[in-house]
A and B are shown apart, each in its own frame.
Chain A
Amino acid sequence: MRCEEARLLVSAFVDQELSNDEELAVSEHIESCSICACLAEDYRRMGQQIAGGYRQAPAGLTEKIRASVARERLASLPSRSYATMRRAAALIFCMGLSALATWYAIRSSQERAFLEREVLTAHVRSLVQDRPIQIASSDGHTVKPWFNGRIDFAPTVRDLTFAGFPLLGGRVEIIDGRRVAALVYKRRDHIINVFMWPTAEAAVQLARDTSIKGYSVLTWNGAGTTYWAVSDLNAGEMRELQKLL
């Protein structure tokens, strides 16, 4: 190894950071080169002297560090717990919302199924009794006052003979434990029961029809009233009646 080459490696040689080959080469060179040997010796002595310049931390520094860290810890705690609480609050809110939506969906579908059964039963019962009408009249002005005192609201009563749905009359039914108005219409030989009661739901609910045991059941909301129409008519004719009411 040439001297200029070795001189650059003496520093790393002293630190024992050379590869085995390099270390061997430098070591061999130093054996025969007094300049590089002197350099290595100087570097070692300088290293020891630099080490002698070590400055120990002042006695009180540890306590100062602990105090600073404790302050930092305290300062970080509220923000940490605030962030955690915000996250927790958001999570709880989402869970609550989801639970509410689920509950609402289940409840409304359960309620719907329950009412469907109720109105269907009432319709079938009215047919079995062979007396579906308590007040027989095709005149709305006769049927409507008849409900006074029998139920706690005034139903809208319209004769729809002009459209092929003559009004036969009305009666009081019990649906879901409350008295409701039942209007009876006729379409050809088919009897249609239209149950109605006031609702708190302001929004107009889209009409839904279902077919159960051969009966068409159509329900809709309008003008603060819930309507349930049941008959053995087809769904199209039921829709027609809905538009008229």
Chain B
Amino acid sequence: MVSRSRFEELVIPHRNAAFNLAYWILQSRDDAEDAVQDAFVRAFRAFDAFAGNGARSWLLAIVRNVAYSALDARKRSRNFVVLSDDMRSLSVSDLEQMPSDDPSPEAVVAADDEHIRLLNELARLPLIHRDILVLREMEGLSYAEIAQITGTAIGTIMSRLSRARAELRKALARQVPKVRSDAL
């Protein structure tokens, strides 16, 4: 029998992690909300079989699967790559709406062009690189935990993260002259 209070205590607290991951995979707040609710329902169904350790990783693995399925379904139903959602560029106001862990005035000021550019480039990264960067940098998970969530080997996570960072850095370097030329 599923204990509702135990579920409430162990799993519900990770709703922010769940939403953040779903958001960065689906890049739509509405779709992310739907995926998170779906994932929690699945988690509740499977809660009997859950060992009780690492609730966050366990939940995030479910969220990731649900979000990937939702993405597939969305692509199938529209039958083309969704530019408006997937490639939607962030604006400064968008970023300011984003509650962060340290919403100090300095952080808001620091939400400058460079930051926005980086997040836009992150949004453009291939999904396979994007979700592990989110798990690593936003959730601070270890390679072992990321490997568990994504169902891959730790060595694979290590090389993928290295490539993801190199790619992101390259994209940012490529953009700098362009932004400067725009400014001129």
Contact = CB atoms under 8 A, between A and B. Distances in A.
B143 A17 contact: yes
B138 A53 contact: yes
Interface string B11-23: 0100110111001
Given A12-B158, A43-B169, A51-B101, A61 B15 contact: yes
A80 to B, nearest CB: 8
B15 A62 contact: yes
Nearest to B29: A58
Contact of A17 (B44, B142, B172): B142
A55 B20 contact: yes
Nearest to B13: A62
A187 B122 CA distance: 111
A72 B44 contact: yes
Given A46-B165, A47-B137, A55 B24 contact: yes
Main secondary structure of the interface of A (DSSP, over half): helix
A131 interface: no
A200 interface: no
A56 B138 contact: no
B167 to A, nearest CB: 11
Contact of A68 (B24, B29, B37, B122): B37
Interface in B146-182: 158-159, 161-162, 165-166, 168-169, 172
A72 B15 contact: no
Given A61-B15, A68-B41, A54 B98 contact: yes
B5 to A, nearest CB: 12
Given A72-B44, A73-B2, A12 B100 contact: no
A91 interface: no
Contacts of A39: 169
A106 interface: no
Given A61-B15, A62-B12, A53 B119 contact: yes
A76 B19 CA distance: 25
Name the residue among A53, A62, A64, A68 with the largest chain B CB count within 10 angstroms.
Answer: A53
A43 B32 CA distance: 28
A15 B118 contact: no
B70 interface: no
A42 interface: yes
A58 B16 CA distance: 9
8 contacts: A46-B137, A50-B122, A51-B101, A52-B107, A57-B15, A61-B36, A62-B15, A72-B41
Interface of B: 2, 4, 7-8, 12, 15-16, 18-20, 23-24, 29, 32-33, 36-38, 40-41, 44-45, 95, 98-101, 107, 110-111, 114-115, 118-119, 122, 133-134, 136-138, 142-143, 158-159, 161-162, 165-166, 168-169, 172
* Complex A-B, nearest 5 residue pairs according to Cβ-Cβ distance, in ascending order: A57-B19, A11-B162, A50-B137, A55-B23, A56-B99
Given A42-B169, A55-B32, 11 more contacts: A15-B143, A47-B136, A47-B137, A51-B101, A51-B138, A54-B20, A54-B100, A55-B20, A56-B98, A57-B36, A58-B29
